[in-house]
Amino acid sequence: MARLIVTSDRNGKSTIGLDKPVPSTPFAYVPGFDPALVWGTAATPSVPWDGRNVANERKSVLPDVGKTRLMMVTFPPDSVMMSSDFDPAAAGAEYMSRLPGLAERFEPESPGCIRPTP
């Protein structure tokens, strides 16, 4: 299991500010696909660190200008999408609900490609 460990500075000494497992929340309709939004920063980060992970305050998986996001993604083998049990409509709906902001930019004609911001 992956862990998120954030170091911090307290009175001139390095400390562990956060140590927690990265949640595993695999998709139901795309077995083996497991995206995790791990970390995010604000456009103006707090120094010293205030203990917030702005990735948890998201409306979109994609960051606004000046912000950052770190995702850890486990991809399934191609055979998952080739299976007779695969339901593309259900998978698409799950992508839209679980990856807001990102799923809308997927290029159906070029899997794995994302349209640039207009």
Q: What does the pLDDT look like over 81-102, one tens digit per residue?
A: 899 999 989 998 998 899 988 8
In a domain, 117, yes or no: no
In a domain, 114, yes or no: no
The count of structural domains within the chain is 1
Q: What does the pLDDT look like over 22-55, one tens digit per residue?
A: 989 999 999 999 999 999 888 888 777 788 888 8
Residue 27 has a pLDDT of: 96
Can you tell me the distance from the alpha carbon of 60 to that of 91, in angstroms, rounded to the nearest whole number?
18
In a domain, 115, yes or no: no
Identify residue 38 by its one-letter amino acid code.
V
In a domain, 58, yes or no: yes
In a domain, 25, yes or no: yes
In a domain, 46, yes or no: yes
Burial 54-64 (b: 16+ CB within 10 A, else e): bbeebeebbbe
In a domain, 72, yes or no: yes
Q: 78: part of which helix (H) or strand (E)?
A: helix 78-82
Contact (CB, 8 A) for 102 and 114: yes
- Report if pTM > 0.85: no
